[in-house]
Amino acid sequence: MTKTKVVHFIETLYQGGAETLVKDYALLLDKSKFDITILCLRRTYSPYETLLKNAGIKVIFISDFFGSKKTVWGRIKNKISNIVGLYHIKVKKILNEINPDVIHAHLAVLRYLVYALSQISPSLFYTVHNEPQKYWHCKTRISSKEFKACQYLVQEKKMRLISLHSAMQKELDKLFCVDNTIVVNNGIDFSKFSKALSKEEIRKKLQISQESFVIGHIGRFVEQKNHRFLIETFYHVLKQKENSTLLLIGTGPLLDEIKKQIHELKIDNHVIILSNRSDIPDLMNAMDVFAFPSLWEGLGIVLIEAQKMQTRCVISSAVPDAAIVSNLVYRMPKNASANEWAEILLNFKVNSVQYDGLENWDMGNVIRTLENLYTIGKS
């Protein structure tokens, strides 16, 4: 039986929502039917890279061909190589060598894909991981190029768009003048959540007091995730409950700025920042409440994961309704102040957890949907 060759094409394997999804797809797709390769623009030395390598998944990093990202000279060579178009050439060469039946793209890689398709004709899928208007119309040079690339690939190469929920599906159909956008939930591997450490065990491991009130957040340190507001909110929490801890999991370009804000507010001893973690279910068990003040979200899969762990969640009005699958979620008004957020974080209670549609996010169901799409696409 000839296997279907599938390439997942993504920027990096940093531990974000899209990257986690690609990692899970690669691990869980039926290897007797599918030959999986992950193609990344840049290596970030995340735990996912080691995890996938140990599982026998082929991962190719374009940056590796132009020097190590761990050295200054390697970073300079990579930056120049990308600017002058050598990344485009290398992507094209690698995809030509693989000659995949299916390419499933994620995040800002479409401009590279346009250049790479002159000699191959795979079935194309593109998952839109962010709210479309925010993602493509933020007036940056890259977002403009990505939007034009997406238009070309949809119209000329029959690329199928994959949305995260029905509202996004309608928006994408209208935006690209199509009627075939697919809804595929960002699945969750439920099995890993049943193996999590208890609250007592993980707090002991992190050296957090069992009596501390712990507010948690998981996400990159980027503008979208609204860390500055979260730090301000936590400052108000401490005024009311001194024995509180803010647990931040992630890394990103704004990390140093957030550390400076924490230091200026003199709350360093109450904030723990962790990066490159693969034990997310354990860390969620350390939290009393999960805070999610994002300025925009395509979905927010981490919110569904928090609900799976029966963690109370306080979220912004920008998070889509599709990510709410239980009564564990309190949505804040659009212009709520940091002090108002603090009050809810401290006082929001749920007596009995009730789920509504959580089973729809089971990764097993999502994988079966993808396998059908890839098989139909090949034929």
Q: How far apart are CA 230 and CA 213, in angstroms?
A: 15
Q: Are residues 203 and 171 in the same domain?
A: no
SS3 call for 161: strand
Q: What is the CA radius of gyration of the chain?
A: 21
Q: Which two tokens stand for residue 285?
A: 């068990």
Looking at the structure, tell me whether residues 268 and 133 fall in a common domain. no
Q: Are residues 15 and 156 in the same domain?
A: yes
- CA distances to 52, 102, 110, 182, 378 from 23, rounded to whole Å, are 7, 17, 19, 21, 22
- What pLDDT score does 101 carry? 96
pLDDT-wise least confident of 35-49, 129-143, 171-185, 254-268: 129-143
- The pLDDT, as a whole number, for residue 130 is 85
pLDDT bucket at 119, cuts 50 / 70 / 90: confident
* Predicted local confidence at residue 364, as pLDDT: 87
Q: Give, in order, the Cα–Cα distances in Å from 249 to each of 217, 280, 295.
A: 6, 9, 18
CATH number for the domain that contains residue 146: 3.40.50.2000
pLDDT (mean) for 259-271: 97
CB atoms under 10 Å from CB of 195, counted, come to: 8
Q: What is the pLDDT of residue 154?
A: 96
Q: Are residues 284 and 371 in the same domain?
A: no
Q: Which of helix, strand or coil describes residue 61?
A: strand
Span of 29-43, 129-143, 346-360 with lowest mean pLDDT = 129-143
Q: What is the pLDDT of residue 15?
A: 76
Give the C-alpha separation, 125 to 103, whole Å: 6
- The answer to whether residues 341 and 198 belong to one domain is yes
- For 84, 86, 173, the CA distances from 126, given in Å and listed in that order, are 26, 23, 13
Q: What is the largest CA-CA distance in the chain?
A: 65
Paired strand residues for 35: 5
Mean pLDDT of 7-23: 90
- pLDDT band (50, 70, 90) for residue 138: low
In a shared domain, residues 286 and 370: no
Helix axes 338-347, 227-240, angle to 10 degrees: 60
**Segments forming the whole domain that contains residue 162:** 4-187+362-378
Q: Tell me the pLDDT band of 301, cut-offs 50, 70 and 90.
A: confident
pLDDT computed for residue 133 by the predictor? 78
**Cβ(289)–Cβ(4) below 8 Å:** no
CB 130 within 8 A of CB 297: yes
Q: Is the pLDDT of residue 362 over 90?
A: no
The pLDDT assigned to 268 comes to 95
Cα separation, 191 vs 68, in Å, equals 36
Among 209-213, 277-281, 297-301, the range of highest mean pLDDT: 209-213
Structure-block tokens of residue 105: 């793209």
What confidence score (pLDDT) does residue 303 get? 94
Question: CA 183 to CA 169: how far, in whole Å?
Answer: 7
186 and 276 Cβ atoms separated by less than 8 Å: no
Same domain, 168 and 256: no
Are 331 and 366 contained in the same domain?
no
Q: What is the pLDDT of residue 105?
A: 98
Tokens of 348: 């929001």
Q: How confident is the model at residue 135 (pLDDT cuts 50, 70, 90)?
A: confident
The pLDDT assigned to 378 comes to 61
Shared domain for 257 and 346, answered yes or no, is yes
* pLDDT digit string, tens, across residues 323-357: 999 999 999 999 999 999 999 999 999 999 999 98
Per-residue model confidence as pLDDT tens digits over 45-57: 888 999 999 999 9
Task: Please check whether residues 131 and 220 belong to one and the same domain.
Answer: no
Please, what sign has the CA dihedral across residues 292, 293, 298, 299? positive
Tokens of 259: 């550390």
The total number of structural domains that make up the chain: 2
Closest CA to 127 of 370, 339, 348, 335: 370
Q: Which two tokens stand for residue 44?
A: 């970030």
Percent of the chain past pLDDT 90, that is, above it, reads 76
| The pLDDT of residue 131 | 82
The answer to whether residues 181 and 200 belong to one domain is no
Q: Name the average pLDDT for the chain.
A: 92
Same domain, 344 and 368: no
State both tokens at 91: 């992507």
Question: What is the average per-residue pLDDT within 296-305?
Answer: 89
Q: Which residues contact residue 313 at a Cβ distance below 8 angstroms, ignoring those fewer than 6 apart?
A: 289, 290, 291, 292, 303, 306, 307, 328, 329, 330
Give the model confidence (pLDDT) of 173-190 as tens digits.
999 999 999 999 888 888
Query: Tell me, what's the pLDDT at 379?
Result: 55
For the segment 123-136, the average pLDDT, to the nearest whole number, is 87
Q: What angle do CA 166, 172, 173 make, to 5 degrees?
A: 90
Is 60 exceeded by the pLDDT of residue 302? yes
